[in-house]
Amino acid sequence: MDIGLNPFLVVFYFLYVFLVLSAVIHMLYQRRSPQNLMAWLLTLLLLPYLGVFLYLIFGSRKLLYKRNKPNITIPSKTDETAIIPAENRLARQIDELLIADQIASTTHHNRIELCGDSCQSFECFMQALQDARYSIHLETYIFELDQTGRRILRALIAKAREGVQVRLLLDAVGSFALYRRPKALQDLIEAGGRVAFFQPVFKNFFNSQVNLRNHRKIYLFDDSLGFTGGMNLSNDYFGTEEDKPKNDRWKDLLFRMHGPVLSHYHIVFNEDWFYTTEEKLPLPKESVPAERPGQLIQTIPSGPDIHKEALFESLLQGLYAAQREIVIVSPYFIPDGSIMTALLIAIKRGVKVVLVSPEKSDHIVFDLGRSSYLREFSEAGGDIHFFAGKMLHAKLIFIDRQAMLFGTANLDYRSLFINHELANWVYDTALIEQTANWVEALIRGSRPYQLSSSRGRRLLENLTRIFAPIL
């Protein structure tokens, strides 16, 4: 009996094979990590066609993007390396890495200050906004028109009417509510302000760029003052005491900056703004140095518009340089294999390694994805504290209380290899000690991680680890 093949099924099958092979070749060309490669392979094989669709939308990193957004380069203006103290070996090593990656971003004579709690951070931010005379450039992932957002918007409208140049750059996914209904910002535009959405969702949905989000927080006022950290512009992060939610705000940090470091922040903002709007902005005059000797800071933009993986490389350098203690504060903990190996080796070397993370984050899928990493970290001797309050969103890494990494990047694959991020290494003892005290207060409000002895739980953790690198 002759059993014929359905032509439709044959075409369906060979098209699927072609698409899977094309995706695999694309991944191999990008030289992805083995974990990420295997996770996507399983997704492609276990979810026919749907896996291909997910890869087209969420799987692309730098390859196709290079055709659209040029690399950001930060030129060196002086021989900064020559004035890095000889005893600060880590700063010199990271400086060499940055120069090799075309990011000569070490600056001196800065003043970096920690804004304490959410109310103080908001007061500092609003005071800077009120005092701005020439320009206000804000770039953020989330801007919500809640109590805090409306206060900021009203102040921006007032400054725009005064003739101050107001530019607001929002991520289209992070600020999706405003992206869908931009009329809420019409008063700002009519007052003379400019608003733009980075990577518009509907424009980029099928061109492999919708996955490349802008997670940077750059808040610049004139040429002399800037803020950065993990805080977005919403009441979840900062605001007035009277607007504080009943169950408190998210725990996060904002850093205020003066000095030459701001020139690098202006470069990054101008490049992101030009990519989004095609408006070329002039760079401001070099910021007046803070009181000497001031603070050394190394600013590291990261993402598809950076030549190499400078942030990732500098983080590895810091972890391997640690001799006594590594303290990590991160809302999500799904480290790349190289980062995890560096942490486990540090523990074996006798370094005390501490992780502070939320008991429950705002994304259950990330909580599931981190489980096996937490177990491995704990079984190796790592010290884990689960913050028991509302969501912990701060991003900090301390190396021996001599170096501190802060900024917008989480300790996960998306932040280190996909998103547009911005981080900073600082080496100022007083600032590090002040921030470390803030972390110690977090730990006092935390509970220790408890290993589950359930075999079913261990199996589930290992299963989620398979797909964790694509989260």
The string of pLDDT tens digits covering residues 264-298 is: 999 999 999 999 999 999 988 765 555 556 899 99
The per-residue pLDDT for 12 is 65
Q: Is 23 helix (H, G, I), strand (E, B) or coil?
A: helix
Structure tokens at 330: 């991160």
Q: What is the dihedral of CA 342, 265, 105, 316, to 10 degrees?
A: 0
- Residue tagged 């911005």 (tokens): 422
The per-residue pLDDT for 182 is 93
Stated length of the chain: 471
Neighbours of 321 (CB within 10 A): 17
First-to-final CA distance of the chain: 49
| Kind of pairing between the strands at 352-358 and 194-198 | unpaired
| 264 Ramachandran zone, left/alpha/beta (phi>0; psi -120 to 50) | alpha
Domain ranges of the chain: 7-61, 109-293, 310-470
The per-residue pLDDT for 38 is 67
In this structure, CATH architecture of domain 109-293: 2-Layer Sandwich (3.30)
Q: What is the DSSP letter of 292?
A: S
The per-residue pLDDT for 61 is 53
Each residue's pLDDT tens digit, 152-169: 999 999 999 999 999 999
Closest by Cα among 188, 133, 124 to 155: 188
**Residues lower than pLDDT 70 in the chain:** 1-5, 8, 10-14, 16, 20, 26-40, 49, 51-68, 76-82, 202-210, 286-293, 452-471
What is the CATH class of 310-470?
alpha beta
Structure tokens at 229: 């950290």
d(CA 3, CA 6): 9
